Amino acid sequence: MTRFLAMEDPLLHSLYYFYLRDLPPGHAETIRTAYEGWADIQYRMPPCLHWQEMAVRRAPRPRDREGYTLLGRGGAPLTCLHAVEMNAESIAVLKACHALLVEAESDGVGPLARALGEIAEHGRNTVDDFRRVVDVLQLQAPPRLLGSLRRAAPAGRATAISLDGTQQEEYETFCDRIVRTLSAGDRFTYAMHRALYF
């Protein structure tokens, strides 16, 4: 969640609200469409995963739901995953924005590079966090596991979903892919993220 927050605020939020007018028109349009794409993705997520109200809304909010409980072998509780349909266009604009940010950061000159430098003064490398988040958004869950998770999608009372042995193995492998993508070789971060799932 920290990586997602860092991508949104300070990075996209700051670029959109504080630097957009200072950027060349092409750069400003790329940032604007990326922010709108991120808003589209966020509003497709379950309410429990909404961490900030965004000014731009391109998709309807998901139906309210009370959530579900995910259980593994022997009824052990697992961290819940949520099946969310990603808009390919929203992912594409985020990838284009990331490419623009990498280029500006590499060049080190111009309004966008200066904006990134000012934003970076307040924290870690948010452009790299952006890449990791986009990579995670593109991960494909195993179809059998995804089918089980979709049973949690309808609105209404909370339900319990139990995974069989094969599904739990798929769950653990998929969660490990998420953790490795977000951690990108940082052992401490990997251990911290992994503890959320195992």
Kindly report, residue by residue over 108-139, the tens digit of the pLDDT. Answer: 999 999 999 999 876 667 898 899 889 999 99
pLDDT for 126: 85
Q: pLDDT, tens digit, for every residue of 19-76?
A: 999 999 999 999 999 999 998 888 887 776 655 555 555 444 444 445 788 999 999 9
Q: 133-143: buried (b, 16+ CB within 10 Å) or exposed (e) per residue?
A: bbbbbeeebee
Q: pLDDT, tens digit, for every residue of 150-178?
A: 876 555 556 889 999 999 999 999 999 99
CB-CB contact of 11 with 129 (8 Å): yes
pTM of the model: 0.81
pLDDT for 123: 63
Q: Taking the domains of the chain in order of start, what are their residue ranges?
A: 2-194
pLDDT for 34: 96
> Strands (DSSP E) along the chain, which ranges?
68-71, 77-78, 159-162
